[in-house]
Amino acid sequence: MAAVRSRTAAIGVLCGGLLLAGPAGAHPEGQTPYRYVVAPAGVTSAGPPEPGASTQPIGRPGFAGTTDNQMQLTLPAGALPPRAGEQGVRVALDQQDPALLPALPRGFEPEGNVYRVSLTYAASGAEVTRLAVPAPLGLTAPAAPTGVLQLVGERWQPVPYTPVAADEGFSSVVLLQTGTATFLQVYDPASAQSAPAAAGASPPPQPSSALAPTAQAAPRPGPGGVLTYAAALVLVTLLGQGIVRRRRRKALPAAP
């Protein structure tokens, strides 16, 4: 039998201050194809996760993603800060096992892989310390998360996120503001149990008290830029395409 955690999610994405939402329903974990680094007990992985690497031009919009579509980074024009002698930035996307990183706050469980982003200038290899304009980063989840954490030093800290749900696919969108960042979607059983279970339209999953200060229904742009309506539409389209491709793959049966 597949491991099941019945949860609700909602379609939401910030379009220059506009939140688009739609109905969602319960989602049993393990029935949506997902590529785990290490799958939970009772759940079969759809295969090993795949990395992504590309060089993006400075000064123009760009897009980078893993070849399995589980990470998708949309770079607005001007997001990559200029540097003398540099024409592009190398984007490296990787997925890791949560068990190999610092422990999560008490009560939280990992929802899928750890996602790591690294931006370096193509010519010199110097690290991009901070983006000039925050960039939307889509993170696929095997089921609806109740929060997103970012690893800062040796501690996980909650960050604003937008839950995105479409048919059998779930994702979160965060705003990438630094050149190197590590994110993990998490599930809090306490907050999930308190969520309404009514059929039909449901509100977005509510964060637990531990995530309440920052886990919003939509990300808040930081200094230096906003998520524009056009960028949001591109992001939704890309996430939707990735979800459609995953739906076409037949879900693997769970291990007995």
pLDDT, tens digit (0-9, with 9 covering 90-100), for 219-239: 333 333 333 333 444 454 455
Q: What is the CA radius of gyration of the chain?
A: 17
61-111, pLDDT tens digit by residue? 999 999 999 999 999 999 999 999 999 999 999 999 999 999 999 999 999
pLDDT of residue 201: 37
Residue 169 has pLDDT above 80, yes or no: no
Task: Supply the pTM of this predicted model.
Answer: 0.70
175-232, pLDDT tens digit by residue? 999 999 999 999 988 876 655 443 333 344 433 434 433 434 333 333 333 333 334 4
143-162, pLDDT tens digit by residue? 989 999 999 999 999 999 99
Q: 3-state DSSP call for residue 244? A: helix
User: How far is Cα 156 from Cα 44, in angstroms, rounded to an integer?
Assistant: 27
Residue 30 has pLDDT above 90, yes or no: no
CA distances (Å), 150 to each of 65, 219, 233, in order? Answer: 19, 14, 25
Q: Mean per-residue pLDDT for 30-41?
A: 85
